[in-house]
Amino acid sequence: MNVGQQATDFTCAAVSDQGEIIDQFNLYQAIDGQYAVLFFYPLDFTFVCPTEMIALNKRMQKFKQLNTKVIAVSIDSQFTHLKWRDTAINDGGIGPVDYTMAADVSHAICQAYGVEHNEAFVAYRASIIIDTNKKIRVKHVNDLPVGRNIDELVRTVQALQYTDKHGEVCQAGWQEGHAGFQASPKGVSQFLAETADQL
């Protein structure tokens, strides 16, 4: 699946943000009326993954303020997710995170979204942002050894919401609280005349 396409719906087992096992977690039901981030990662109880998951959890209040549902997805079972969540950070766990963890044991979800590693057969470190119309707006994919910048993920959601609300485009490095500009020759000329030295 690529940017601009409708996000593929799925139903699978999951662990809720309250630490409860959900037998039939449905994407479309869970994200209805919200933006969403599908946060694919390779495996529970590994090495780079807990750093990403803890960093993601530390920014959950911001995602909630942005009306954005976060769903982490790996090929582990819901039982492994729950065990990892119930393991203390100092013991290699991630603690009681505030987002849903989907169990893609069949690999159908990572395959549908085109983010399965073709040799390791786990998900790449992929972040997919879906808008309120359930359309894919952003797809970032990192190779397995490279952890993501969660602040950049937050910034990208903010930028999408700005463009959706104001009908303007966001320049390189746009930050919350900054203005964008009209997508026109006049708009870009005026913007660059005023701010090119800040890019």
Instruction: Report the CATH number at residue 44.
Output: 3.40.30.10
Residue of 12, 49, 110, 170 marked active site:
49
Residue 144 lies in a domain: yes
Both structure tokens of 7: 């996000």
Residue 153 lies in a domain: no
Residue 169: how many CB atoms within 10 A of its CB? 17
pLDDT at 187: 83
pLDDT at 18: 97
CA distances from 160 to 107, 164, 186 (A): 29, 6, 22
Residue 71 lies in a domain: yes
Residue 132 lies in a domain: yes
Q: State the total domains in the chain.
A: 1
Q: Which residues contact 123 (CB under 8 A, 6 or more apart)?
A: 40, 41, 42, 73, 74, 75, 104, 110, 115, 116, 117
Residue 117 lies in a domain: yes
Residue 167 lies in a domain: no
Both structure tokens of 123: 């998900």
Q: Which residues in the chain land under pLDDT 50?
A: none
Residue 142 lies in a domain: yes
Residues 193 and 171: beta-carbon distance below 8 Å: no
Known catalytic membership, residue 49: yes
Q: What is the pLDDT of residues 97-146, one digit of tens each?
A: 999 999 999 999 999 999 999 999 999 999 999 999 999 999 999 999 99
Residue 195 lies in a domain: no
pTM more than 0.85 = yes
pLDDT at 194: 86
pLDDT at 195: 81
